[in-house]
Structure 1
């Protein structure tokens, strides 16, 4: 294939040659082979902000004030200086203004984001490219020994207030917000939230609930569903009406002597936990065809571990699961069924992760360039690195746990930048 380090030659070659069908974007990205960062400017005069990240389309640079109260957004001005000659890196002296932050970025606005008793979660930011909406979060101080309330699990810290903010990044106009009171959401590196198209999922650790919100084009955050205690929209209505009917019948029979019985709501496991137990039971049931063997298998694999399954809590998998038993459940929120259930040491799940890694991070259907994220399932160089790590591992089971510890993948944690495209460049992810 024709290739040269001269940009002019590549532009001329693009004019006279037509790329193969479906490869025009790949051909355009190959121009980055000629535009490689090769010079570093030190001691740049920067404002005293906490710099966070660029949006994937490169239009906005998101920063926060040092006191974690204000949102500050810049727009990059991109290439501002050039030099003439072959050895520019060593011989050319750049003008003094090149060491000023303002030479490369233009401040669009400064907007107050957090209230007086809240702070910005500086590791949390999601970007909706289709509408250029930014999603931020603020929270009050963490309460470590929070009292257990109805529906809350013990041992999970609490925040008096967690607020999800929806901003229009073009002008910094606040569109809507969603507030969680006396709750806990893991906002570090977007662990407790996931954005897919116009749907935002927020995981409440304290109440073991997955809140599904829809972001409308008008800029409104609309509650769609809460998956946890109930799985369908009418589950709560059905259970409450059934409990009320049962209570009325009890009053007729014993004239109120049944009032000391516990609330029927507390006698049920959560809806999603019941779905999980049902799935595990059916999987074990279908393993054996002989009735006697089936009963023995259920005793050994299901009933013996029943309380362990009941005690499971929804968490974001992290590296500390290397030494702990952890499980991954795949849930279909339309049919309210558990589709699959794996342990964090399952070879079957690892093989799926190795072969179909791209299916483990759902990307927006509107962002075509997200298809260029290199992984070991779509890039031979990444696959070679993975196999090299696997061959060097002293324990295959520990290697599997280490690889699966990244699941589920954090939302918008992978960059589609051409400089991370392993079809163009070879690099070490550790550095």
Structure 2
């Protein structure tokens, strides 16, 4: 086993005289974090009364909101302000200014986003690395018992106004806005919005539409297409033309028949299609399911029996499915989650108990490529072997390629298989694992301290996934994965943990 020195000076010298294997330079550089660990906590820091959201993935900006959820406040880290090179730095007291927030962060600006009766959605923030744009959202209060009018889905709440704001984080200038009226987009932990490179997918749960927008370099939000009721750009034109032809035909029939004159007058000018047509995306889905079952059997008798059992018997269940969540797999394919209305727009702890399906949709051909139930073993095997393909990241975010998963890390894979072996019900385990699909956008932290090749920690207490966890009285320990497998640092949760500022104390051992 190759022994790596705990002396950072020795490791820097070793880096000068040796060259890492091809393709491993980034992994080699990340190993320096085995020496660069938090070793001191500053308590009772004079901190502004803000709601802190997160750092951008490149660490350049700290995003926060005012307590009244009206203003955006952005800080830039000042990085290391104090250092110590003694053998025992813990005995030294830090200067008094180290207990002030502004000693570690500089406020860049404060921008008012919300207006009138809107509030900033504190759980929503997306960062565009290439242009350093930030996407924020403000909204009015939810109306839970809103009537389902205009083609809205019954049971989905409504929000009078949802506004997306595109800002340049360097100076806080608002570049563009996009407003959704009397709609519902699930903004909790970025669930209803997915950003991939310059493409943005926004899911309207209330009207079952996937809005695809493009973020131009100039900072404009340009509408590209809407997937839902229509799939192709000329679908609406074709249906409207067909409806006009049918309406004209009805008018001619009225002149030919006088006994039904009164009844025809009631329906005059209304296209016969009414609400009988399914949405374009739903028709694509039903066609894919039908064709798949049709092609499984060559005998006509067996084919009809299979269709009756697998398609017609569940036809209404398929029709009632609604879109819950969407993510990009690449610039041409979407991973769409379908479920029942009973599942609710908010993800609960028992979300894996609700029937759900995932489909891969090609935006160019408007075809469903594949369709799986959330308990399908085939989908789980794809998830286990190719998890990184589901955690799609922007081509500009190279550091996101080093987030540990069971597809690229043997330790994470062993942990997953251990949980699988302990599961009493294989089907429930598969549902629980696949309940996270599609993944929420920018929900993982690229911090090297979450690299399971470097450190071992209890992922029940802390992990790279951005989500709320129950606080514990026990400290969270980060243990060196390689020899000598020592405890490198620990975090003490609790009320003081959220008010503390951790600084790096580099010990130059001799």
Could you tell me which residue of structure 2 aligns to residue 284 of structure 1?
Answer: 293
Tell me if the contact between 1:75 and 1:106 (Cα under 8 Å) persists in the aligned partners. Answer: yes
Q: Number of paired residues?
A: 430
Deviation digits for residues 123-174 of structure 1 (CA, Å, limit 9, x no counterpart) = 0000000000000000001111112211111111000000111000000000
Aligned residue runs from structure 1 range 4-19, under 5 A: 4-19=5-20
Could you tell me which residue of structure 2 aligns to residue 367 of structure 1?
Answer: 397
Could you tell me which residue of structure 2 aligns to residue 357 of structure 1?
Answer: 387
**Higher mean C-alpha deviation, range 256-265 or range 68-77:** 256-265
Deviation digits for residues 175-223 of structure 1 (CA, Å, limit 9, x no counterpart) = 0010000000000000000000000000000000000000000000000
Q: Which has the bigger relative contact order, CA under 8 A and spacing at least 6?
A: 2
Could you tell me which residue of structure 1 aligns to residue 316 of structure 2?
Answer: 307
- Describe the SS at the equivalent of 2:109: strand
Q: Distance in 1 between matches of 2:124 and 2:460?
A: 22
Could you tell me which residue of structure 2 aligns to residue 339 of structure 1?
Answer: 369
Deviation digits for residues 56-77 of structure 1 (CA, Å, limit 9, x no counterpart) = 0000000000000000000001
**Higher mean C-alpha deviation, range 290-299 or range 76-85:** 76-85
TM-score (norm 2): 0.82
Could you tell me which residue of structure 2 aligns to residue 414 of structure 1?
Answer: 444
Aligned residue runs from structure 1 range 39-78, under 5 A: 39-78=40-79
Could you tell me which residue of structure 2 aligns to residue 400 of structure 1?
Answer: 430
Deviation of residue 258 (structure 1)? 6.3
Could you tell me which residue of structure 2 aligns to residue 36 of structure 1?
Answer: 37
Deviation of residue 340 (structure 1)? 1.1
Q: Which runs of 4+ in 1 moved over 6 A?
A: none
Tell me if the contact between 1:30 and 1:424 (Cα under 8 Å) persists in the aligned partners. Answer: yes
Q: Distance in 2 between matches of 1:291 and 1:39?
A: 74
Aligned residue runs from structure 1 range 194-343, under 5 A: 194-255=194-255, 257=264, 260=267, 263=271, 264-316=273-325, 318=347, 319-343=349-373
Could you tell me which residue of structure 2 aligns to residue 20 of structure 1?
Answer: 21
Tell me if the contact between 1:139 and 1:161 (Cα under 8 Å) persists in the aligned partners. Answer: yes
Residue 128 in structure 1 maps to residue 158 in structure 2: no
**Higher mean C-alpha deviation, range 296-305 or range 257-266:** 257-266
Q: Distance in 2 between matches of 1:107 and 1:15?
A: 38
Could you tell me which runs of 5 or more consecutive residues in structure 1 were left unpaired when the two chains were aligned. Answer: none
**Higher mean C-alpha deviation, range 13-22 or range 407-416:** 13-22
Tell me if the contact between 1:250 and 1:258 (Cα under 8 Å) persists in the aligned partners. Answer: no
Tell me if the contact between 1:45 and 1:99 (Cα under 8 Å) persists in the aligned partners. Answer: yes
Deviation of residue 322 (structure 1)? 2.1
Q: Distance in 2 between matches of 1:143 and 1:278?
A: 35
Q: Distance in 1 between matches of 2:274 and 2:403?
A: 46
Residue 97 in structure 1 maps to residue 127 in structure 2: no
- Describe the SS at the equivalent of 2:302: helix
TM-score (norm 1): 0.97
**Higher mean C-alpha deviation, range 92-101 or range 247-256:** 247-256
Q: Distance in 2 between matches of 1:238 and 1:142?
A: 36
Q: Distance in 1 between matches of 2:211 and 2:132?
A: 22
**Higher mean C-alpha deviation, range 124-133 or range 353-362:** 353-362
Could you tell me which residue of structure 1 aligns to residue 147 of structure 2?
Answer: 147
Deviation of residue 3 (structure 1)? 1.5
Deviation of residue 253 (structure 1)? 2.8
Alignment RMSD (CA, Å): 1.3
Deviation of residue 320 (structure 1)? 3.1
Q: Distance in 2 between matches of 1:202 and 1:357?
A: 23
**Higher mean C-alpha deviation, range 22-31 or range 158-167:** 22-31
**Higher mean C-alpha deviation, range 41-50 or range 180-189:** 41-50
Tell me if the contact between 1:125 and 1:135 (Cα under 8 Å) persists in the aligned partners. Answer: yes
Could you tell me which runs of 5 or more consecutive residues in structure 2 were left unpaired when the two chains were aligned. Answer: 256-260, 326-336, 338-346, 462-510
- Describe the SS at the equivalent of 1:10: helix
Deviation of residue 2 (structure 1)? 5.3
**Higher mean C-alpha deviation, range 33-42 or range 57-66:** 33-42
